[in-house]
Amino acid sequence: MKKRLLFVFFIVFLTNTNRSIGQSIKLIASGESKAATKEIDSVGYIKRFPNYISLETEVYTLKEKLIRRGFIDTKIKDIIKQNDSLFNATLYIGQKINTIKVFFSSEFNPELLQFSEVKIDSNYFEVDIEKLETTLDFLNKRIAEQGDPFSSLKLKNLRKENEDLISADLHIKTNQKRRIDKIVIKGYEKFPQSYVKRFLKLKASQSFNLEDIKAKTERLQELRFAKEIKAPEVLFTNDSTILYLYTEKTKSNNFDGYLGFGTNENTNKIDFDGYVDLRLVNNLNFGESLRLFYKSDEIDQQTFDVKINAPYIFGSPIGLDVGLNIFRKDSTFSTTTQQARINYQINANHRISAGIKGSVSSDLLDTNSTLLDDYTSNYYQIGYNYIKSQYYDPLFPINFWFNINSNFGNRTQNNIEQQQTAFTLETYKIFNLNNRNSVFLRLTGASLSSDNYLDNELYRFGGINSIRGFEENSLVANLFGVINTEYRYRLSNSIYVHSVIDAAYFENDITNTKNKLFGFGFGLGLLTKAGLFKLNYSSGKTENIPFRLSDSKIHVSLTATF
């Protein structure tokens, strides 16, 4: 019984299927001549339909396509049924018009048509008729950018000037221009308001332009402490325009380093070794940052550095940077440097700054030497910084960094002033070859110009953040330049390996030394739940001196984000 029912159901299904297939009808459209039919075929149309209504709709759609292409005289002459499955539609398309002249009133601003493919005259513009729709869409968009998102365009009084030209009058229906009345932050409600006004350049009372707003809110991806989680939305009422921004606070604090201690055999005092690099960002919800750095290396040098950045003070475009650096070289000398700058954020990427810097250095040995002595120095500073981020990439969050500073001032030693100038440069760039391969290139350098030099005022470089394969801050110079290169290969989204090829040149006028340095090695980066783990193995050499594996350095670090 069940088999018989299944058989009957199968027969009914086949019968209905064949009937539905048989009910499909076909359309053939033709023009008043072979050339006209060829034009119709080039436009294209659907040829099979389930019923007559859909077929008739397609014929009228075909007519509109032909009119937009320039056949403005197109008419449907008839739709004739040839048989049960075939209909023949005959159209008259006439001669194609190539150009349309659109007249506008004196209130219209022709500058709105800049960058469009039109020919503009005093009271009209001419455009290829096939580009008319695109041009009107472009024009409507430009009007919307002026603060009228609900404007509409219409062509009236369409008329034929001659066989190749038609004309029409442009009618623009405008509404009350819209301005942003209120900006509401959703998600991260404590997002710094100064960043809305200064960084995103959005504020109440400015003209409403949704495309411009979307472009500006994309800058949120340039911030370390926040990101955009949803496209902006707008609430229009009769008398107000409210803009909603959707953001989310992200983890932006970093901790990196290690710390060890032991008893000094000579002094029986506790000595600290290692380093701590702590960066706190936006913990007070003002976009501020604090960096605390301490380092004690293997050649008995200690560095303590603290920097505070406060952007957009009192909602102004002006920010403040202050810093304190203390450097001590065993029992030889110590130098304390303080600086304060004001900076101006031009836009999301560019910043300029100006400030003052003062240093006090003490000769702990009290040798009264001409090469090592007490001194004070005061400088005026100007600087420029550019940053292009890619925070979507946790392995390499900064794509391009450029920072240059100029210092002009004097050094006072034994009541004698010496004019000096100093320049520092740091820049790096990641060249992304594809999803897995990239090249990292960094250049750092500094120069101190003076008639004479003291050992305790020279630059100290070398180590993991300079030329790799050498001890930290073991190289002393009044002029140096370092090039770091890495070829990076991603094994996955969380693991990469890289080469180490470094080169440096430095000059020390005190010792009349000029030398070239090289560093070679390899490294590994691993993104873990605890943070970014880095391992570098490198060996350094000076010019004309062969490598010694015993001089190789291994650098290990873990940068935790919280």
Given a contact cutoff of 8 angstroms between Cβ atoms, the answer to whether 66 and 36 are in contact is no
Given a contact cutoff of 8 angstroms between Cβ atoms, the answer to whether 323 and 338 are in contact is yes
Hey, what amino acid is at 55?
L
Which residues neighbour 386 within 8 Å (Cβ) at sequence distance 6 or greater? 349, 350, 351, 400, 401, 402, 403
pLDDT digit string (tens) for 332-356? 899 999 999 999 988 878 999 999 9
Hey, what amino acid is at 217?
T
pTM (2 d.p.): 0.72
Question: Quick one: residue 157, left, alpha or beta (phi over 0 = left, psi -120 to 50 = alpha)?
Answer: left
Per-residue 3-state assignment (H helix, E strand, C coil) for 410-441? EEEECCEEEEEEEEEEEEEEEEECCCCEEEEE
For residue 498, give both structure tokens: 């890289």
* Mean pLDDT score of the chain: 86
Q: Phi and psi for 164 in degrees, rounded to 5?
A: -115, 0
Which residues neighbour 488 within 8 Å (Cβ) at sequence distance 6 or greater? 396, 437, 438, 439, 440, 496, 497, 498
pLDDT digit string (tens) for 415-467? 899 999 999 999 999 999 998 999 999 999 999 999 999 999 999 998 888 89
Q: For residue 293, count other CB atoms closer than 10 A to its CB.
A: 17
Span 95-114, average pLDDT = 83
5 has a pLDDT exceeding 70? no
Span 505-515, average pLDDT = 94
pLDDT category of residue 269 using cuts at 50, 70 and 90:
low
The class of domain 2-92 in CATH terms is alpha beta
Which residues neighbour 514 within 8 Å (Cβ) at sequence distance 6 or greater? 505, 506, 507, 508
pLDDT category of residue 532 using cuts at 50, 70 and 90:
confident
How far apart CA 89 and CA 138 sit, in angstroms, is: 35
Work out the percent of the chain whose per-residue pLDDT is above 70.
Answer: 91
82-107 per-residue burial string, b: 16 or more CB within 10 A, e: under 16: eeeeebebbbebbebbebbbbbbeee
Q: What is the topology classification, in CATH, of domain 99-173?
A: Ubiquitin-like (UB roll) (3.10.20)
Q: Give bridge partners of residue 243 from the DSSP assignment.
A: 183, 234
Check residue 525 and give its pLDDT. Answer: 92
* Residue 319: its H or E element: strand 318-329
Do 2-92 and 99-173 come out as alike in CATH topology?
Answer: yes
Span 541-548, average pLDDT = 75
Q: Phi and psi for 453 in degrees, rounded to 5?
A: -130, 155
Lowest mean pLDDT among 72-76, 139-143, 442-446: 139-143
Torsion of CA 447, 448, 454, 458, to 10 degrees: -30
Domain spans in the chain, listed from the N-terminal domain onward: 2-92, 99-173, 182-249, 252-329
pLDDT category of residue 284 using cuts at 50, 70 and 90:
very high
- Of residues 530 and 303, the one with the higher pLDDT is 303
pLDDT digit string (tens) for 180-234? 899 999 999 999 999 999 999 898 888 888 778 888 888 888 888 998 998 898 8
